[in-house]
A = this chain, B = another copy of it.
Amino acid sequence: MKLKELAKSLGLSPTTVSRAINGYPEVSEATRARVMAAAQRHDYQPNPRAKALATGQSMAIGHVIPLATRHEMVNPVFADFIAGASEIYAREGFDIHLTVVSDEGEEKAYRDIAAKGSVDGIIVHAPRANDGRIALLSSVGLPFVVHGRATGIDAAYNWVDVNNRRAFRRAAEFLVDLGHRRIALVNGLETMEFAMRRRSGFVEALTARGIEPDPDLMLSDEMTEQYGYQSAKTLLARADPPTAFLCSSMISAFGIRRATDEAGLKLGRDLSLIAHDDDLSYLQNGADDPIFTALRSSVREAGRRAATILIDQIRNPGPPVHDLLEAEFLVGRSTAPAPHPARALNA
């Protein structure tokens, strides 16, 4: 069913029908009701491409997700973020236009999307320091929101981020307060902004507590299971192994768990976790494992907020908006002060 047919079947002009459907005020309520009813009855769906061509609005949001070829699997965070965003999109009538690019192809991908005008706005995932994409998008004038932040950018831009620095500072403080002195940081690639922030939160905490951060205990790489495993294995083989791990991803954390397993150690559950919940209460009861639920709720919420901001920017462009989620990266599951499992090695 197309607009013209609908119009004819009602004895009206396409103009009027279009106006009725799109809620223009200059249509009498009587005709509007008639039109709406008929539209319903015939299950009329306006052709989005025709509409887009006429209005210049595509009612679509682009998500470009970078795929490091070394990644063993796609970062689940992307999916959860998108799930959150799509709740908003669905409500507001936007579609998701997904582009998966390898690291090299990234700039070209953005350029193409902008040139083709296939979307009204873009979500930028996994920003890096001095990220060229931000300048690129600003220059083409396509609204965008960054999931995360990029330092080294002079222009203001929209972003949504969780409070990574604060989360890691707290996590590290927590470990220190449990009595740990040698804490390993198994971090993500520190070309990524979030990893840099996490590291600095970590260092801040140690320094504030009078502990000299040991560079040998601060690792950085793509966060695979393999990476967590190898890192932990290597670290535990040292003469002075760490007694706690602060890790930047659950996937890598599983690798760490495997390594401690193999070493015959029982980790004091010093596995890392991002929690949107702001307090440590679950650490005390431990009834539910909050790793996944917390991660999800945090990332989804970020997706929702980013989508909301982006749509708002599309509808009425204004000054950039920031949104810092007070998410937590919490540590461990043990209710008692953490044991120093590594001592078993030397025992």
A interface residues, Cβ below 8 angstroms from B: 43, 45-50, 52-53, 58, 63, 67, 72-76, 78-80, 82-83, 86-87, 90, 95-101, 112, 115-118, 224-226, 229, 251, 254-255, 257-258, 261, 266, 288-289, 291-293, 295-296
Contact = CB atoms under 8 A, between A and B. Distances in A.
A80 B73 CA distance: 7
Given A74-B80, A74-B83, A79-B76, A45 B115 contact: yes
A95 B72 contact: no
A50 B67 CA distance: 30
A275 to B, nearest CB: 13
A73 B73 contact: no
Pick the most buried of A79, A95, A117: most chain B CB atoms within 10 A of its CB. A79
A131 to B, nearest CB: 22
Contacts of A112: 45
Nearest to A294: B72
Given A73-B296, A292-B73, A49 B53 contact: yes
Nearest to A87: B100
A100 B82 contact: yes
Contacts of A296: 72-74
12 contacts: A47-B116, A47-B117, A67-B83, A73-B295, A74-B83, A82-B100, A86-B100, A87-B100, A95-B97, A95-B118, A96-B100, A261-B266
A293 B222 CA distance: 14
